[in-house]
Structure 1
Amino acid sequence: MTTNGLSAQDLFEFSFLSDPQLSPDGKWVVFVKKVINEKEKYQSNLFLLHVDSKETTQFTQGNFSDVQPRWSSDGQYIFFTSNRSGKQQIWKIAFNGGEASQVTTFKRGASQPVLSSVGNKLIVTVPLTASDSLEDKETKEKTEEKLKPYITTNLVYKSDAKGFSDETFDHLVLIDLETGTQTLLTDGQYNHHSPAFSPAGMHVAYSANRSEDPEQTFFSDIYQLDLATNDTEKLTSSDKRFYTPNYSPDGTKLSLLGDDLEYTGATLTRVWSLDLATKELSCLTSEWDVECHDVAINDMGTGAASAGAVWSKTNDALFFLASELGSTHLYQVTLDKQITKIVGGKRQVYAFSTDKNQDRFVYAVSQSAAIPGDLFVSTLSGSEEQRLTTVNEHLLETKTLSAPEDFRFKANDGTELQGWIMKPVGFKEGETYPLVLEIHGGPHAMYSHAFMHEFQVIASKGYGVLYMNPRGSHGYGQQFVDAVRGDYGGIDYDDVMVAVDYALENYDWIDVSRLGVTGGSYGGFMTNWIVGHTNKFKAAVTQRSISNWLSFYGVSDIGYFFTEWEHKTTVMEDPEELWRISPLRYVKDVQTPLLILHSENDYRCPIEQAEQLYIALKQQKKPTRFVRFPESNHELSRSGDPGLRIIRLNEITDWCDQYLK
């Protein structure tokens, strides 16, 4: 079927917007625009937008990764992180133009610039080993080293984001912008995150787990450092996970995002206030059964560091993002726990910023078939919304897109569930079409009203697309997201299959004999589980999946705790239970042709999971195909090499074409 829908190749034509930052006077926005250049590699530059005229100007040039823009308090400079020297370092550029100048030259780089409100101090995050000095500078000389073994005595020695540990820890460095003096603020073999200056610039708050065993404790405390005396005080009691502290304008309180780990990784994030004088903690959203964080899924590279909960200028309310019922919105909560929606609609608001006087908000939106990612502005009340950018209009206006239709239905136990269905591009009444079921990862994440390139590509090939949020997903309260823990392959499987049955009963254009299923990570686990338990689907694609929970425990970068958190048992306690819920156990029952997609450098769900599944299928001479993506990790589908992302999408649709057309 040939249509004018979005193709896999159209990925090259998209622009990806993130991290909008409103100037102190509210007149300008600086933001990051990422594109795929002629070498088929990502390139990120900063752009300036005049809010009233909507005129946009490219602010930094060159084939670099320019990210994390931050205004100086007087609006005269923009500081940002860039790899233009080789490693990521901090640079600055005058608002009125000119060349960028380098601020840091640390041996291993620097990132996350945070400026004091008085404008003469800067904090950056610097990776350091125990033997590193701030005097060590970045060098461009490459020295050939002899092969040597990797040796570790750590429990956590690899991560999907960074690969094998280089024994560095993230430390905070204070830079005096007038004298250039650099001061190391933190010490020890701990990671330190989310620094924030007090309004007077004399204190710094940050989050860290500085316990005796950070590898096996999962809380995160808030610390405050007095820059005059160099004294550090722990403000929280090592029983919760807190991050992104923000000082109130009067300097008397901190806002925090965090949770108490009651439901381990499924615990809802909430908004908190910490009184600096009394150390009293108040959970402002304790009575609101909503995840106070953006957990909506899209594949358009919208990720950026959370702003946390941002104080009102009157010290009595906080602004934050929260995810509910398939949307992420901007909310306000007062100190007496009154919650108001500021920016709503069927969409994902994935970033926001406000000016010094809080006259307006600028926020980034991803929405359905219409907006992959664009900027909007509105007043503090959320009224008078205006769209500021249309960066992908040149592409979308030439394409026919499939608009998702959301629907509600009942689970087997009566619980209300939410799903979406997309008709094939070129849909004609009276004809029938194959349907592909998509299953998200996590599982504690949320399909939403956000734009999904992958879904549009599948629809453009003549397929309907069905997706939903089964038990274990965010967006529907604490009990809903917790329900899957200890029940993988149970209530979640039932929810997914009920969604398919609902679609077949209510959309007569679906051909019941031509159903496909795909998913990644947890969604890959569920795809594997499905084909081992039903022959309803005639084609399946499993991506970055889990097939064996016994081996996952020891090979995944999170396996040693995730297994217990999610399954409520361990390899040592109940290996039989982990084998019972492993799709590999049921491989003899698989009849569905299964395409296996996996990244070779995936340390979250390592490729041995795919290898076990492939060999077990192949030895039985069952229809399968194994595609290995080199130099790629768990994030291939969202931020991986552009060329490989396109191959991945084409593999999915080609497999479906082979078995569903």
Structure 2
Amino acid sequence: MEKLKLDDFTNYKFLSQIKHGNEKDKFALLVHEIDKKENKYLSNIWVYDENKLKQLTRSDQENYFIWLNDEELLFSSDRDQSDKKNKKDKEIFTQFYKININGGEAKKYFKIDKNVTDIKRINDDKFVFTAIYDKQKENKEENKDEKEEKTFIEIDEIPFWSNGSGYTNKKRNRLYIYDLTKDSYQSISDELTNVSDFSLNDNKEKIVFTSNKYENKMKLTDSLYVYYIKNSELKTIDSGNFSYNYARFLNDDKLIVNATDMKNYGINENGKFYIYDLNNEDIQCITPDFDKSVWNSVGSDVRYGGNSNVGVENNHLYFITTENDSSYINKIDENGNIEKLVENTGSVDGFSIKDRQIYFVGLRDLKLQEIYELKDKKEEQISKFNTFVQEEKKLSKPQKLVIENNDVNIEGFLIKPVDFDENKKYPAILDIHGGPKTVYGNIFYHEMQYWANEGYVVFFCNPRGSDGKGNEFADIRGKYGTIDYEDIMKFTDQILDKYSFIDSEKVGVTGGSYGGFMTNWIIGHTNRFRAAASQRSISNWTSMYSTTDIGYYFTKDQIGETPWSDNDKLWEHSPLKYADKVNTPTLFIHGEKDYRCWVVEGIEMFTALKFHNVESKLCIFKDENHELSRSGKPKSRIDRLRQMTDWFDKYLK
């Protein structure tokens, strides 16, 4: 067995978009790899058929796919990007191909002159899709008298940019129907409506979609619509009472949705399940006591691409929940009866169901992503994409711990260094998750395992504010830096008291996003840590409010005030206020295009520490956004982890 290296993640495979065909024992998925030399990700379609996994495409540039029939797939690809680059006007289009899973080359099928974000098949001739509509660009093309390019970016709404998408002013994700026989499409939603989710009923006659229409300022509530394809009728089901996680047809006459009115716990409030009867327009909550998040919030840095977390079959909705430190598959009927289908702990990253046959992408123990077959609540691993890690690399299994703070149980983990020697003293790193409404679990985390291989103890916990324990536990609105800070410090105290092999004089702290906020907060409230690495952080709630893509509503919701209602409250919870108390050498890491926690947050804190003569460094990663540590360019991810490790080595070893 050899040590896990810093850049070993470039050899991992990442699995996404697992989808059944029309047969229960047949599915396809995207498999992503890293090309370290070219500094990019490669993506190909694989198929599972006759109990075997086989690679179907080899262009390394596939994006997403759907099944056309039992034997054919439709997929989009960047194979034609070279053609785009050669065109002077840089025409935007999405080229679709079809391919037979039994062999043969992919063939061009049709092209849509838009940036398509999702597509579903209605029948052989029609497809429903979403695509980015740019109103400003459309207006420019209509007014062709303007021959010169503008020297400025025109902004007249908030949010005007989005992490990972850049400037989004007057851009919307619109819903369309494409007619293959006419090679044309028609819009269903208007130019100011942003469609977030859509789905078809079983007989492909109706489309349900959730959307947000806004001008000047985006609302926090959504609208719910049903579109009748045959007569082109658009029916409003709900106009702005809820924030929807998703909506699906339970059958032809009923919708099942998960939604929240945000009245009790704000934007992070867990949704409840509702049934909408389309015949009598009746709305009924079927889970009044349900208090779980319906997504997977178990953190890891070994994922790439997305997976479905919801499906419908036989009048049941199948969905994912995060509970404590794990995520699970469940099913619910129209009466609100819920059954948990997965019993093992870990992370269910996504699943597909057909004729009660479930396959899912999961992270189990110290295994990286693999595909599992679920039968009668028993799991069987059917892939070996990443088994080399367990077979060849030294890993350290996290030990779970539970501490009590003010009658609240706080769960956490500790990872010992590999080749652990009980007679030695080791430096340690406290790692704090983002969110704050996410969780750490007992699964593989590359950076933590790497640090364990470099001789560090790594410990981490799920303080109040985290997911998995219901609304009340997750609710830290107006309390940032108080009860959550107390939980983390109490956990740290007990770790150092319990494990004498940790050198208490050589402990570092790091975290990203909310974890970056908490890192900034910690160094202004205690000098117990020898070094810190603050990533994609928040330092000043006033600047966060007015500069980031979510700031104007996230700050008001989470801190409870705006700069005009009570700026003193924002300043009270801002780490920057306490920067003159910092003595801890601190590294700041930010993506240049991180619009979620804009780089100015790191700049403010870095400047404050430099002004007060605290040793510090700021690393701004070019062209990277908030997802730097998870899906940033491979070389950027390598450099980020190297910078952090070198910083801790300098002060802790």
How high is the TM-score relative to the length of structure 2? 0.93
Q: Is the 8 A contact 1:516 1:537 kept in 2?
A: yes
Structure that is richer in strand per residue: 2
Tell me the alpha carbon deviations over residues 228-269 of structure 1, each in whole angstroms, 9 at most, x when there is no partner.
Answer: 222211112421012432223x41212223222222222013
Q: Match of 2:362?
A: 365
Which residue is equivalent to 1:294?
Answer: 296
Residues 421 and 84 of structure 1: CA distance in aligned 2, closer, same or farther (over 3 Å)? same
Equivalent of 2:399 in 400, 405, 423: 405
**Aligned-partner Cα distance in 2 for 1:108–1:148:** 25
8 A Cα contact 1:173 1:184, kept in partner: yes
Q: Secondary structure at the match of 1:239?
A: strand
**Aligned with residue 13 of structure 2, among 15, 29, 35:** 15
- Mark the CA change 1:182 to 1:554 in structure 2 (over 3 Å): closer, same or farther: same
What is the letter of the counterpart of residue 63 of structure 2?
Answer: V
Which digits, 9 at most, give the CA deviation of each residue in 1:116-152, with x for residues without a partner? Answer: 3x5543111111234778xx9xxxxxxx975611121
Does residue 129 of the first structure (1) align with residue 128 of the second (2)? Answer: no
Match of 2:65 among 31, 56, 69: 69
Where 1:235 maps in the other structure, the secondary structure is: strand
| Shift of residue 178, structure 1, vs aligned partner | 5.2
- State the distance in 1 between where 2:478 and 2:647 align: 33
Which residue in 2 is equivalent to 1:550? 542
1:636 aligns with 2:628: yes
Corresponding residue to 1:463 among 442, 456, 460: 456
Displacement of 1:462 in angstroms is: 0.6
**C-alpha distance after superposition, 1:388-433 (max 9, x if no partner):** 112112243111001111121111x111111011111121122221
1:282 CA drift (Å): 3.2
Residue 109 (1) aligns with residue 124 (2): no
Q: How far is the alpha carbon of 1:279 from its aligned partner?
A: 2.5
Which of 219, 223, 226 is the equivalent residue of 1:224? 226
User: Does structure 2 retain, via aligned residues, the 8 Å contact 1:171–1:192?
Assistant: yes
How far apart are residue 543 of structure 1 and its match? Answer: 0.4
**C-alpha displacement at 1:602, in angstroms?**
1.1
Letter paired with 1:382: K
Which residue is equivalent to 2:261?
A: 260
For residues 357-396 of structure 1, the aligned pairs below 5 Å read: 357-358=355-356, 360-369=357-366, 371-379=367-375, 381-383=376-378, 385-396=379-390
| Distance in 2 between residues matched to 1:495 and 1:400, nearest whole Å | 31
Q: Is the 8 A contact 2:271 2:291 kept in 1?
A: no
Q: Which residue of 1 aligns with 2:498?
A: 506
CA contact (8 A) 1:123 1:195 kept: no
Number of the residue aligned with 1:157 = 160
Question: Would you say 1:607 and 2:599 are equivalent positions?
Answer: yes
Q: Is the aligned partner of 1:56 residue 2:53?
A: yes
Is the 8 Å Cα contact of residues 464 and 510 (structure 1) preserved in structure 2? yes
Encode CA deviations 1:568-627: one digit per residue, 9 max, x unaligned. Answer: 101111111111111111111111111111111111111111111112111222111111
Aligned partners of 2:103 and 2:170: how far apart in 1?
39
SS in 2 for 1:340: strand
User: Partner letter of residue 505 of structure 1?
Assistant: D
Answer yes or no: is 1:81 the counterpart of 2:76.
yes
Percent identity between matched residues is 30
* Residue 91 (1) aligns with residue 88 (2): no
Question: Who is 1:283 aligned against?
Answer: 285
**Counterpart amino acid of 1:227?**
I
Residue pair 1:244, 1:307 contacting (<8 A) in 2 also? no
**Contact 2:178–2:186 (Cα < 8 Å) also in 1:** yes
Tell me which of 422, 433, 436 is aligned to 2:429: 436
User: Gaps spanning 5+ residues in structure 1: where?
Assistant: 137-143
- Written as runs of structure 1 = structure 2, the 5 A alignment for 1:582-661 is 582-661=574-653
**Does structure 1 retain, via aligned residues, the 8 Å contact 2:197–2:210?**
yes
What is the rounded CA distance, in whole Å, between the counterparts of 2:28 and 2:459 in structure 1?
37
Q: CA deviation at 1:630?
A: 0.5
Deviation at 1:221, TM superposition (A): 1.7
Instruction: Tell me, yes or no, if structure 1 residue 208 matches structure 2 residue 211.
Output: yes
Letter in 2 for 1:373: Q
- Quick check: 1:311 aligned with 2:312? yes
Following TM superposition, by how much is the alpha carbon of 1:650 offset from its aligned partner in structure 2, in angstroms? 1.0
C-alpha contact (below 8 Å) 1:271/1:292 kept by paired residues? no
Matched residue, 1:141: none
Which sections of structure 2, spanning at least 5 residues, go unmatched?
82-92, 142-146
> What is the distance in 2 between the residues matched to 1:532 and 1:131?
45
Q: Which moved more, 1:13-22 or 1:90-99?
A: 90-99
Residues 471-480 or 84-93, more deviating: 84-93
Alignment partner of 2:303: what SS? coil
CA distance in 2, matches of 1:182, 1:15: 37
Question: Is this contact kept in 2: 1:423–1:463, CA < 8 A?
Answer: yes
CA separation of 1:36 and 1:123: change in aligned 2, threshold 3 A:
same
2:169 and 2:114 mapped to 1: Cα distance?
11
Number of residue pairs the alignment of both structures matches = 634
Q: Distance in 2 between matches of 1:592 and 1:26?
A: 57
Matched, 1:171 2:174: yes
C-alpha displacement at 1:82, in angstroms? 2.0
Aligned pairs for 1:519-598 (under 5 A) are 519-598=511-590
What is the aligned-residue RMSD (CA, Å)?
2.1
Q: For the structure 1 residues 24 and 382, does the alpha-carbon distance in structure 2 shift closer, same or farther, using more than 3 Å as the test?
A: farther
2:327/2:347 contact within 8 Å kept: yes
Map 1:185-200 → 2, pairs under 5 A: 185-200=188-203
Structure 1 residues 505 and 571: CA distance shift in structure 2, 3 A = same
For residues 527 and 195 of structure 1, the distance between their equivalents in structure 2, rounded to whole angstroms, comes to: 39
Partner amino acid, structure 1, of 2:67: W
| TM-score, normalised with respect to structure 1 | 0.92
Distance in 2, matches of 1:89 and 1:544, equals 35
8 Å contact from structure 1 (residues 17, 32) kept in 2: yes
Q: Which residue of 2 aligns with 1:139?
A: none
Q: How far apart are the structure 1 equivalents of 2:13 and 2:215?
A: 43
Amino acid across the alignment from 2:606: Y
Contact 2:436 2:514 (C-alpha < 8 Å) held by counterparts: yes
Q: Are residues 281 and 603 of structure 1, via their aligned partners in 2, closer, same or farther at CA, if it must alter by over 3 Å?
A: same
Change (3 A) 1:95 1:174: farther
> Comparing 388-397 with 399-408, which one deviates more in the overlay?
388-397
Range moving further from structure 2, 91-100 or 559-568:
91-100
Contact 1:81/1:112, CA 8 A, preserved across alignment:
no
Change (3 A) 1:264 1:80: farther
Secondary structure of residue in 2 paired with 1:255 = strand
Instruction: Note the C-alpha offset of 1:302.
Output: 4.6
The CA distance in 2 between the partners of 1:292 and 1:243, in whole Å, is 8
Q: 1:228 to 1:49 in 2, by over 3 A?
A: closer
* 1-structure distance, mates of 2:187, 2:105: 28
Deviation at 1:47, TM superposition (A): 0.7
